[in-house]
Amino acid sequence: MKLNIAKIVKILKIIANFGYFLFIIFVIAIIAGTSLSTFEAPGGFRMFSVLSGSMEPAVMTDSIVLVKSQSEYTAGDIITFLTDPSANPKNARNVVTHRIESVNRGELPSEVSYTTKGDANKTVDLEMVYSKQVLGKVVFALPYIGKAIAFARTPTGFISLIVLSAILIYTEILNVKKESGKLLAGVLEKIKAKKTKLLSILLVLCFVANQTAVSSYALGLNNNELSTDNSAEAGTLDFGVLYRDDNWSTPYDNMFRNDGTDRDIVLVNMGSQPFVYKQYFEFVSGSNDLCGELDLKVYDMGTASKIYDGKLDDYVLNSTFDTDNLRLGYTAEVPSDAPYAVSQKSCEFKIITVAWQAEFSDETQGFWDQEEFTSQITTGDWIPQVPTGLHILDHNGADLGCGGVTNNRTITVDWDDNPEFDLAHYDYQNKDEITISQPTVSHFTGDIRDEDGAYKYRVSAIDEGGNASAFTEWCELTLDRTIQDASQGDVIINEVFWTGSTVGSDDEWIELYNDTSSDIKLKNWVIERAGNDDASLVLPNDAVLPAHGYFLISRYTEDDGNSALNVSVDWVTSDIDLEDDGEALELKDAFGNTIDSTPSGEWPAGDDETGNRSMERNDDPDSGWHSCLDVVCNDGTYWDTNDGDDYGTPAGENHSENDPSLEISLPEPVIEVPLVELVKETSTTEQL
């Protein structure tokens, strides 16, 4: 059987022409893939390569995806977006293709965000995706082409394209020569130009497109990294840094000694294998001295463990990344002993993360990637802080606060210690704004002028450099030697007539008793909850309680027709108001010290059902109270009429037979035994 050479040649020509056609299509695809990944085509179309399997099976590894920008996106859409909201889409560093799990809408259209997830991933993505990050919706995915395009953009692939194109051109020239035979040279040149023109143009376009891709690649990633700017997912090794906060927490821009500021980031493994990483500090600008003074603590937030504690500019961390994501927390602090020279300074720095394949010792081998974030910390003017806690103590050490009253010239002005390590002293001023002392401790004891009246004091802190804080607010005090303090029990609430009398239910009174051998001034003393609506009764300025004497407070005078009293009243006030169901009366001196009180709850004694009987203090005041039942309590000494209904001993000594603190002594009984004379009887039988 003879071979039909002509047919074989014809078939080979068809195959060659088909291969030539596929090559042309392949070159066009390369141009489209590289150009559309860098520039947006009319209609909002862009093209990206997908080099990982997080979206399989919907989008296979090494696919190319055609995306188109939309006015609105819904749950279920596969979108391509930027992981960094501030990135320029033309120079996108991290581009991801994932599916929308849910749409989150705010009050404004610009507040729309999306929860996304790779179909092959177990969990949703860490960060929300906002509208401005979205490049478009995937409208078409072509598998496997992405790998060829990625290869064509490499130096090796680009050279292969040139060689293959040259071979095809040379083959075409030979075919043309053979077929044309002895045709004129001009015709041959015309054919050659015609056949090679398209290939030449394609080669130039391919070269330009490849250079465009390389430029984008160099701007976005490191030259040893597999991922490129038009990759929607990372390849073998890639990671990203997501910021949980836009910046350091307040007060990163105005920090003082002992201030701290926090920031979190999340390292996300966007590739397909674990890697080793190194983080380190790099100075950018500002004050090297401040950067050297700042303390830095770094925490693994997942395990709540501290992984670095030292100076900021010494920060180096080496670790292995074998999880999907790692959250790191950073705390930068100004130490308490930082010198004043680094106040009002700025430290701008980078935290750089370099990652490489786990099987290699450093980033100089194999694949590697680098991410970084820049931060700036600024210190305020470290003049000493304004002192805090200013208050005044009296001569006994009792805290008068600010605005108190004392009857003794000796006082102590006290405040909190300032935190500055270089504090020199305090300036202590009186009401005339004259610095009268410069104590090195946070208190000053002295005597007020020998003149009753109002006084005020304030302090400022001064450091060793002469820098002064502002003064505190004034702390005021009144010296009034017409008032008197007392000890608990010096004055007692001795008797309370809360029942009202036969004349009227509001005919009420309170009796105080001085249990000391000296007169006591009652100026500014109060009885809490003895007034209308539980208000306090403030005793008059001229009130004096004589030694072992009584002070009677009543609503009416003894001459008033509304009163049943027959004794003089020391202070008449219409404000007295005693509740029938009980009052917890509290007697306080001018300095707020509690001198005596009645029990809370119901009145412990007194009676308004079987007569109007007062509540009297027991002879032993600490033992409590009793009701006045003795007939003497109804005597005309105390009442206008002794009708048997009003009982009490106002302005007089308490006496009642039912006072449980009084012991009644009775004589021991004498038993008299009568004497009996015993007589011995003689038996008469004995004489017989």
CATH number of 491-647: 2.60.40.1260
The whole-number average pLDDT for the span 618-639 is: 89
**What does the pLDDT read at residue 665?**
44
Give ∠ CA 186-189-193 in degrees, rounded to 5: 140
Task: Give 488-504 pLDDT, tens digit per residue.
Answer: 999 999 999 999 999 99
pLDDT band at 592 (very low <50, low <70, confident <90, very high): confident
Q: What are the sequence ranges of the domains in the chain?
A: 5-216, 239-378, 391-479, 491-647
Calpha distance 17→25 (Å, rounded): 12
Domain 239-378 bears CATH identifier 3.10.520.10: no
Q: CA nearest 514: which of 404, 589, 406?
A: 589
Contacts of residue 372, Cβ cutoff 8 Å, sequence gap at least 6: 241, 282, 350, 351, 352, 353
pLDDT band at 297 (very low <50, low <70, confident <90, very high): very high
Rama region for 139: left / alpha / beta (φ>0; ψ in -120 to 50; rest)? alpha
The helix-helix angle for 145-152 and 155-180 (nearest 10°) equals 90
- For residue 251, cis peptide bond before it (omega within 30 degrees of 0): yes
Each as own residue / partner, the long-range contacts of residues 364-371 (CB below 8 Å, 24 or more positions apart, any chain) are 366/224, 366/237, 367/224, 367/225, 367/226, 367/236, 367/237, 368/222, 368/224, 368/225, 368/237, 369/221, 369/222, 369/225, 369/227, 369/237, 369/238, 369/239, 370/222, 371/239, 371/240, 371/241, 371/267
Q: Decide whether 5-216 matches 491-647 in CATH topology.
A: no
Calpha distance 644→642 (Å, rounded): 5
Task: Give 3-45 pLDDT, tens digit per residue.
Answer: 567 777 677 777 766 666 666 666 666 555 555 554 556 667 8
Check whether 595 has a pLDDT greater than 80.
yes
Q: Which CATH number fits domain 391-479: 3.90.1150.10, 3.40.50.1260, 2.60.40.10, 3.40.50.1980?
A: 2.60.40.10
CATH number of 5-216: 2.10.109.10
Identify the H or E element spanning 193.
Answer: helix 185-220
Beta bridge partners of 462: 425, 468
pLDDT band at 643 (very low <50, low <70, confident <90, very high): low
Q: CA nearest 567: which of 650, 654, 511, 656?
A: 650
Check whether 186 has a pLDDT greater than 80.
no
Task: Give 443-458 pLDDT, tens digit per residue.
Answer: 999 999 999 999 999 9
Task: Give 244-272 pLDDT, tens digit per residue.
Answer: 555 677 667 889 888 999 888 888 776 66
pLDDT band at 222 (very low <50, low <70, confident <90, very high): very low
**What does the pLDDT read at residue 455?**
96
Between 491 and 375, the more confident residue is 491
Say what the pTM is. 0.45
Spatial contact of 266 and 244, defined as CB atoms under 8 Å apart: yes
Between 562 and 132, the more confident residue is 562
